[in-house]
Structure 1
Amino acid sequence: MMIPDHIFRAYDIRGVYGVDLTGEIAERIGLAFGHYAGGRGRKIAIGMDVRLSSPNLKKAFTQGLIKAGCNVIDVGLVPTPALYYAVVAKKLDGGVMVTASHNPPEWNGFKLCMRGAKMVSEGMGMEDLKALAQNPYLAEDEVKGEVVPDEGFLEEYTSFLLSKVKVSRELKVALDLSNGCCSLTAPRLFEKLGCKVVALNAEPDGRFPNHLPEPTEETLSELKRVVVEEKADFGVGYDGDGDRAVFIDDKGRVLLGDSMTALLVHHYLPREPGSSIVLDVSSSSVVEEIVKQLGGRVIVSRVGHAYIMDTMLKTGALIGGERSSHLYFKEIWGIDDGVYASLKVAEMLSEIEQPLSALVDKLPRYPSRSKNYDFPDQVKFKVVAEIAQELKAVGVKVMELDGVKALFDSGWFLIRPSNTQPLIKLTVEAKDQEALDKLFREAEKLILARQS
């Protein structure tokens, strides 16, 4: 059996079901992960998203774990952050979530973590796991493990989230559940907190019939309209597995993750002065400036939940944020939880009389622009490395924490390979529009010169 190299990505395993990823391959990776986690007697949680292929892949992966001698706690159909919660709260040895997050419905994969929800990712065990899975001599344990369903798990998880949030006045929220896992949790959590809820695409459906399970300006067009028409205090669009939330203010504007990170910094940091805040390398300079103004300390990380979560756990940071709208919280063990993030935004708004739009308009802003470019997985890393060398050769100050970030007095641009798709991503920010246009042209020229 050949297991394709390319399904092992920077912070998860992902491929097209029936092409890159089959039941046989899933069982083999399950066996490998079981051994990687310690084998006989280890306790591993497994959950899945709503994709049509998820039950088959979960069953196959579970068989692999059992053959490695592991005991499996099956938490069923849950958002990804709930799986992480299970691993930490129940003091398990590891966990696996069957999901391809925001990818189209034909995709699927596995997000893997160890004790304490420490992610298995590039440089943090993924290479070792890949070697085990591709080892033809990997053996089964003589003693097989057992499967224990955890029927009441979702109620336990939602009760935990409720215990961490206090909404002090009635709000109206509009939710786009993307027919994903958050359909099972978000509406009833908001209702239990006394909020009025308008829910769109609220039936779990792994075909994602209404739009792809990725909250973008395009897919959230209906939610934008509903927020304004219903006079909602804010709107939230969730991705397919619930670890990301994109917010819409009361004027119907889609907000970048940077804006929400900045507002949550204002909410959190005065309560714990001097705390650390984790930002990804693509975050706006505005957020860094606000953290420093409020007496906090900025820690910069690679893009991606595996790296941010690892940094959160290692540093004890208060919150973390990514431009892509992943938001992380110390009080839930550094986990990026889209539903929890939206509940905390409700808490924040309930404590003040100003609308979300007013808070956003008070934030400083620098013009920015992002664009993706198609590049095969097998060449995208090489292309970015070449661009970094070219920039350094002409004396440009660069940061190579994740891709290459070129720093100028007028702004910066970041060119990095996507960790989940065959793309190179460009992000540019500058102090004014003229500088933005100039930096964008320079950066795009570097990329297009290498695109066949």
Structure 2
Amino acid sequence: IAVVDDRGRVLDGTRMLAVMTSLILRQNRGATVAAPVNAPSALQHIAKRYEGNIQHTKVLRHALMSAAGRDGVVLVGDGQGGFIFPSLQPVFDGMLAIAKLLELLATFQMRLSEVVDDLPTYYLSSTQVTCPWEHKGKVMRILSEQYRERRSKPIDGIKIDLGKEWVLVLPDADRPLFHVFAESVSSDQAQALAEKYARVVSGLQQ
């Protein structure tokens, strides 16, 4: 789904994931939301408010749909505007997502802008790096070895924990390239971090 709030702000897929996570956990305290491994850490802070949990999955849609069948999961979001509500059906449904958004806003008598303004601040950036198919395995192996002490729990790609920052290097399943995602304390720093590790990936192909 694509959404504009009552103040005219266009909400991207990641922001909508945070909005829906906040609303659904407000309604279902202690429940679990499934989201891809490249989702912002803001989701963890939101879950903590409502004694809930964030369960990370691979970024592929079939992995997210599989997560919908797990116990305690009340929402699955892909970070691109797609949502699953497992209690109703285990598939992505845009019309249902709009209906649930309106229902939750009415339940809590909140404007969408109020939910957005209450979200934790986060800054994400991403970029892509071309890489021949025959070099992908080499790049992943070297990254895994070089950053093994800082690697987060392996779920998808190589995610490097840098304290208040993180970087995810993710091989594309269908194209000869890597996706590099980064989160940091400012927009500029997130972009710089993504670009830095994009250069690392490029260098490892030599």
Query: Is the structural similarity TM-score above 0.5?
Result: yes
Separation in 1, partners of 2:134, 2:4:
37
Aligned ranges 1:88-107 → 2 under 5 Å: none
8 Å CA contact 2:160, 2:167 repeated in 1? yes
1:405 aligns with 2:143: no
Separation in 1, partners of 2:140, 2:81:
24
8 Å CA contact 2:127, 2:194 repeated in 1? no
Between the two proteins, the alignment pairs up a number of residues equal to: 206
Secondary structure of the 1:397 match is coil
Deviations 1:59-78 (A, max 9, x none): xxxxxxxxxxxxxxxxxxxx
Equivalent position to 1:427, from 165, 168, 181: 181
8 Å CA contact 1:387, 1:446 repeated in 2? no
Deviations 1:119-170 (A, max 9, x none): xxxxxxxxxxxxxxxxxxxxxxxxxxxxxxxxxxxxxxxxxxxxxxxxxxxx
- Give 1:265's aligned residue: 21
TM-score, normalised to structure 1's length? 0.41
Equivalent position to 1:369, from 107, 122, 125: 125
Separation in 2, partners of 1:326, 1:304:
12
- Give 1:53's aligned residue: none
Aligned ranges 1:289-304 → 2 under 5 Å: 289-304=45-60
1:336 aligns with 2:92: yes
Counterpart amino acid of residue 391 in structure 1: Y
Q: Percent identity?
A: 24
8 Å CA contact 1:375, 1:422 repeated in 2? yes
8 Å CA contact 1:305, 1:336 repeated in 2? no
8 Å CA contact 2:135, 2:205 repeated in 1? no
- Give 2:39's aligned residue: 283
8 Å CA contact 1:281, 1:302 repeated in 2? yes
1:396 aligns with 2:150: yes
Secondary structure of the 2:114 match is helix
Separation in 1, partners of 2:192, 2:153:
20
* Residues 381/347 of structure 1: CA separation in 2 closer, same or farther (3 Å cut): farther
* Residues 337/375 of structure 1: CA separation in 2 closer, same or farther (3 Å cut): farther
Equivalent position to 1:312, from 61, 68, 72: 68
Equivalent position to 2:114, from 355, 358, 367: 358
* Residues 444/250 of structure 1: CA separation in 2 closer, same or farther (3 Å cut): same
RMSD (Å), alpha carbons:
2.5
Deviations 1:370-391 (A, max 9, x none): 1122334454354333322222
**Distance apart, 1:369 and its partner CA:** 0.6
Secondary structure of the 2:122 match is coil
Separation in 1, partners of 2:110, 2:30:
26
**Distance apart, 1:424 and its partner CA:** 1.1
**Distance apart, 1:295 and its partner CA:** 1.1
The unaligned stretches of length 5 or more in structure 2 are none
The unaligned stretches of length 5 or more in structure 1 are 1-244
* Residues 434/374 of structure 1: CA separation in 2 closer, same or farther (3 Å cut): closer
Relative contact order, higher structure (CA 8 A, sep 6+): 2
Separation in 2, partners of 1:378, 1:251:
48
1:386 aligns with 2:170: no
TM-score, normalised to structure 2's length? 0.84
- Give 2:102's aligned residue: 346
* Residues 259/421 of structure 1: CA separation in 2 closer, same or farther (3 Å cut): same
Counterpart amino acid of residue 445 in structure 1: R
Counterpart amino acid of residue 173 in structure 2: N
- Give 1:415's aligned residue: 169
Separation in 1, partners of 2:129, 2:95:
31
Separation in 2, partners of 1:376, 1:252:
42
**Distance apart, 1:264 and its partner CA:** 1.8
Separation in 1, partners of 2:63, 2:124:
24
* Residues 349/310 of structure 1: CA separation in 2 closer, same or farther (3 Å cut): same
* Residues 437/370 of structure 1: CA separation in 2 closer, same or farther (3 Å cut): closer
* Residues 421/263 of structure 1: CA separation in 2 closer, same or farther (3 Å cut): same
* Residues 375/295 of structure 1: CA separation in 2 closer, same or farther (3 Å cut): same
Separation in 2, partners of 1:267, 1:420:
34
Deviations 1:334-365 (A, max 9, x none): 32222321222233344466542332122111
Counterpart amino acid of residue 292 in structure 1: K
8 Å CA contact 1:274, 1:297 repeated in 2? yes
Separation in 1, partners of 2:2, 2:137:
28
**Distance apart, 1:426 and its partner CA:** 0.9
- Give 1:125's aligned residue: none
8 Å CA contact 2:131, 2:202 repeated in 1? no
Larger Rg: 1
Secondary structure of the 2:81 match is coil
**Distance apart, 1:252 and its partner CA:** 4.3
